[in-house]
Amino acid sequence: MIASVPASAAARATLASFRTPGLRSMTDCLFCKIVDGRIPGKIAYRDDDVVAFHDIAPQAPIHVLVVPRQHVRTFAEMTPDGPAPSVATLMAGVRRAAEHLGLTESDGYRVVVNCGERASQSVFHVHVHVLANRVFGWPPG
């Protein structure tokens, strides 16, 4: 088993300051700030729909977060007919990011979405974790 890389104290403090379930403003959103370049992030992929960046506390040798450019709080807020990006658009962006990172089905990779505080969603801008280059167990923990 590969151990995760611990985040720096500064990174943990920054993340903790943005863990606000009630957050609705794009101006206060950590991921919106990474998307628009107001704070640095290690960008792995970007296109017109999504931005993918490396997680500050990786749980696998490859661990990126794929976020829609438009602020959407949770996966549950994504609807096919609303103003938010669709699930299909987000997941197509996840696939493109995985391809860009050289990930293939034969290599295997995991795609995870946490929806809501009880599911351990830590930043309230919908995001998809893409994890790879280690063996994953089932059920997930």
The residue among 114, 131, 138 whose CA lies nearest residue 2 is 131
pLDDT band at 26 (very low <50, low <70, confident <90, very high): low
pLDDT tens digits for range 105-120: 999 999 999 999 999 9
Active site residues: 127
For residue 64 the two structure tokens come to 């990126």
pLDDT recorded at residue 141: 67
Are the C-beta atoms of 97 and 64 separated by less than 8 Å? yes
Q: What value does the mean pLDDT take over residues 62-85?
A: 91
pLDDT recorded at residue 140: 81
Q: What value does the mean pLDDT take over residues 94-106?
A: 96
Domains of the chain with CATH codes: 9-132 (3.30.428.10)
Q: What value does the mean pLDDT take over residues 66-70?
A: 96
Question: To the nearest whole number, what is the mean pLDDT of the chain?
Answer: 85
| Residue 24 pLDDT exceeds 50 | no
The residue among 34, 126, 122, 35 whose CA lies nearest residue 85 is 126
For residue 8 the two structure tokens come to 């720096």
pLDDT tens digits for range 7-22: 455 444 444 444 444 4
Q: pTM for the full model? A: 0.81
